[in-house]
């Protein structure tokens, strides 16, 4: 039978480990944690009950995500907490002193800088470049191929998008993730259309639907969002 090649470990109750896992003694382990092959966990991290680290990529029949090539392990930085039920997919690299909160999700080939927070139930898709001290709140969603610079704030339920064809993309059209410049902020429930850039220190009001790029320092609100200051 094919399988994930996990082996029970006596280091913690219900712990399952793949091959070649680096898991220092200083790591705090909850129950029923699963750590797949090739994961490196930093000193003093916490892996809470039932989280899954380094899960092999599983793509759908029709997924437009490029296949993982040469994924070389998964990184959980020192002092980082991965919450209960959270899933970190193979090939993600999470910095130091981060929080991937309970039931959150981080996908393959995404990098997250130090002291960032992926809130409870929030989701960071594949191939995202996220900086340091980013704060994603509950249920916020960063679509694939986005760039999120340092100190960005995403309120609860923010939704980014990346497919300008809404599901009818021919092979020669690329996905267009968002670009969120340094210290910009996006309010609760706001939606960004594909390829939007939010300028440095700009503010998108709660519930806005952003259809055009937002200049640095601007405040936008409404459906569609308009600059108000």
Pick out residues in 162-191 that bind a copy of itself (CB under 8 A). 163, 166-168, 185, 187-189, 191
Pick out residues in 33-72 that bind a copy of itself (CB under 8 A). 34, 46, 48-50, 52, 55, 58-63
Q: Is 147 exposed, middle or buried (0-12, 13-18, 19+ CB in 10 A)?
A: middle
**Cα 132 to chain center, whole Å?**
13
Q: Which region among 67-75, 173-181, 201-209 touches a copy of itself (by CB under 8 A)?
A: 201-209
* d(C-alpha 39, C-alpha 90), whole Å: 8
Contact 122, 139 (CB under 8 A): yes
CB of 209 to a copy of itself, least distance (A): 3
CB of 172 to a copy of itself, least distance (A): 19
CB of 79 to a copy of itself, least distance (A): 8
Binding mask 119-148 for a copy of itself (x = CB under 8 A): -xx-x-x-------x-x--xx-x-x-----
**Residue of 21, 39, 117, 218 that binds a copy of itself (CB under 8 A):** 117
Token pair of 60, please? 């759908």
* Residue closer to a copy of itself (CB basis): 50 or 131: 50
Token pair of 226, please? 């308009």
* Residue closer to a copy of itself (CB basis): 83 or 93: 83
Q: Is 19 exposed, middle or buried (0-12, 13-18, 19+ CB in 10 A)?
A: exposed
* d(C-alpha 77, C-alpha 146), whole Å: 21
């Amino acid at each position: 039978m094919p399988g994930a090649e996990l082996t029970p470990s006596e280091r913690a109750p219900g712990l399952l480990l793949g091959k070649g896992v680096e898991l220092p003694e200083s790591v705090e382990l909850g129950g029923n944690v699963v750590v797949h092959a090739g994961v490196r966990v930093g000193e003093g991290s916490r892996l809470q009950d039932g989280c899954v680290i380094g899960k092999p990529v599983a793509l759908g029949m029709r997924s437009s995500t490029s296949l993982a090539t040469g994924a070389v392990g998964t990184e959980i930085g020192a002092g980082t907490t991965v919450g209960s039920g959270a899933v970190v997919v193979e090939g993600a690299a999470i910095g130091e002193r981060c929080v991937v909160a309970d039931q959150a999700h981080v996908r393959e080939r995404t990098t997250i800088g130090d002291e960032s927070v992926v809130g409870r139930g929030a989701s960071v898709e594949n191939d995202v470049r996220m900086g340091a001290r980013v704060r994603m709140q509950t249920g916020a969603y960063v679509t694939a191929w986005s760039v999120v610079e340092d100190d960005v704030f995403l309120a609860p339920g923010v939704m980014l998008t990346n497919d300008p064809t809404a599901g009818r993309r021919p092979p020669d059209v690329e996905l267009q993730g968002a670009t969120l410049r340094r210290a910009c902020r996006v309010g609760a429930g706001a939606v960004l259309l594909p390829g939007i850039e939010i300028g440095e220190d700009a503010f998108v009001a709660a519930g806005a639907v952003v259809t055009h790029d937002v200049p640095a320092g601007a405040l936008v609100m409404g459906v569609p969002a308009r600059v108000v200051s």
